[in-house]
A and B are shown apart, each in its own frame.
Chain A
Amino acid sequence: MASYSTSEFKAGLKIMLDGAPCAIVENEFVKPGKGQAFNRVKVRNLRTGRVVERTFKSGDTVEAADVLELELQYLYADGEFWHFMDPGSFEQYAASKEAVGEAAQWLKEQDMCQVTLWDGAPLTVSAPSFVTLRITETDPGVRGDTSSGGSKPATLETGAVVRVPLFIEEGERIKVDTRTGEYVGRGKE
């Protein structure tokens, strides 16, 4: 089983901690002038996103996490799994509801996503930062009222609901920042 010594610790390194795959966020070498050396690290649990702190005895080893980050193409969802494909190898991966999480509401077939694999299976899926999606439902716009900064809810083809300016109409394509869920502008055709 692959493992890392504390001397290899650095931000980004993937390790197993309490049975969960984690990424090191920060590593600090701490040592009293005369005495034991330590590595004090902050690690992010890749499944939950939670950041915890841990102190290791310098020189100890920890198990490496078999974690891989891939750019995969989203194919379709079958109600239980979301299916992705590596466009280079044509290998397909099925991601669970837990792995897809919040990204589900932004996924459109053919889009490229960052997928983190752990032991060969999708652990997390990140939607692209910006997506362009068609509005399937929104109240009719109020003509002439473009300066008041007013907004209204709009349902997108993926099911997500975002707030859009009043002049945006059903059937239009809009660009959304998936990190904030905010409308960015009209999408290019």
Chain B
Amino acid sequence: MNDATDWRPAADLETLRWRAQRIAGIRAFFAERGVWEVETPMLSRAAATDPALHSLRSEVAVPAPHHRYWHTSPEFPMKRLLAAGSGPIYQICRVFRDGELGRLHSPEFTLLEWYRPGFDEHALMDEVAGLLGAVLGRTVRDERITYRDAFLRHAGLDPMTADPAHCRRCCLDRGICPDPGATGDRDFWLDLLMSHVVGPALGRGEPCFVFDYPPSQAALARIRPGPPAVAARFELYLNGVELANGFHELTDPAEQAGRFRAELARRRQLGLALPPVDERLLAAMQAGLPDCSGVAVGVDRLLMVVAGVARLERVLPFAFDRS
């Protein structure tokens, strides 16, 4: 891996200067709208319980308990600020997710996350489109499509009713060959199809928002009862790359506690680490998290797509392999 030139950035300096200007532009975008910048701890006592997220852990000398978890997103402390009455806030920070490394993944990356009290997810999608316009330097004509319609259009199946056998056949028809050991429940197959088939087809030229997710994929979004019930969650795609994930946030502390328990049970089943639940988030929600929507944008990916390059390392001073 080591060669005589790997002390140098893989990205050219012109791109890195352009990156700095785009990030200054993002800060100006929020300053203009009265959304203020906050900084929350990167090292946390608690960690995300989402079974698909793997937190890095460090030892600290003082005080006990000695473990701190590197945040996978600043979501929980930002919600504590919202509950404390902060009003609209944003943060640009490095976050850490173990086990994720590839063309579009790095164990550490830059996240832009913001929260808007009083917004539902559609109002927040409008603002995300506005931010994209500011970064791209043009007006965007975004497309909006429900999760169900995106699957009907690009995979030819109904994600709310398809069974695993049907999903598997859909993969094979499209030249995707899941290993016999790669199998699971409906959400497993929907994740496979979303990442291999549906997602790559979305947002060609103009951004595309996917919304109304299956309730089983709500994460931290509230569930709208329906029928049919849907999770008030959205994702943003541009040129087939997923750039953002947003929620009309769940505010019910009892339901939040229930989701934490369910995720921990799932982690136990999978033999994953069982990190401490963020009790301070639950206390803040008990005190009252205002009705709000929030979104997290992968800044490195966004700049990668806008710059028209294929790998994260082309827009980073030093990618993970040169750290």
Contact = CB atoms under 8 A, between A and B. Distances in A.
Interface of A: 7, 28-38, 40, 52-60, 62
Nearest to A36: B191
Interface residues of B, number: 32
Contacts, number: 81
Contacts of A34: 50, 52, 217, 219, 245
With a 10 A CB-CB cut-off, give which of A29, A33, A54 has the most chain B CB atoms.
Answer: A33
B52 A38 contact: no
A7 B105 CA distance: 13
Interface in B195-247: 195-196, 199, 217, 219, 235, 242, 245
Contact of B194 (A32, A52, A54): A32
A17 B274 CA distance: 33
A31 B195 contact: yes
Contacts of B184: 36, 57
Nearest to B176: A55
Interface stretch (B34-42, B95-103, B114-122): B95-103
B177 A38 contact: no
Contact of A35 (B101, B105, B194): B194
Contacts of B18: none
Contact of B192 (A53, A55, A60, A62): A55
B179 A32 contact: no
A40 B52 contact: no
Nearest to B272: A59
B102 A32 contact: no
Given A33-B245, A35-B191, 7 more contacts: A30-B196, A38-B192, A52-B177, A55-B192, A56-B179, A56-B181, A58-B99
B103 A28 contact: yes
A36 B179 contact: no
Contacts of B171: 55
19 contacts: A29-B103, A31-B100, A32-B195, A32-B242, A33-B235, A34-B217, A35-B194, A35-B195, A35-B217, A36-B184, A37-B99, A38-B191, A38-B196, A53-B177, A55-B176, A57-B181, A57-B182, A57-B183, A60-B179
Contacts of A29: 100-105
Contacts of B104: 29
B209 to A, nearest CB: 13
Contact of A60 (B177, B182, B242): B182
B99 A57 contact: no
A36 B52 contact: yes
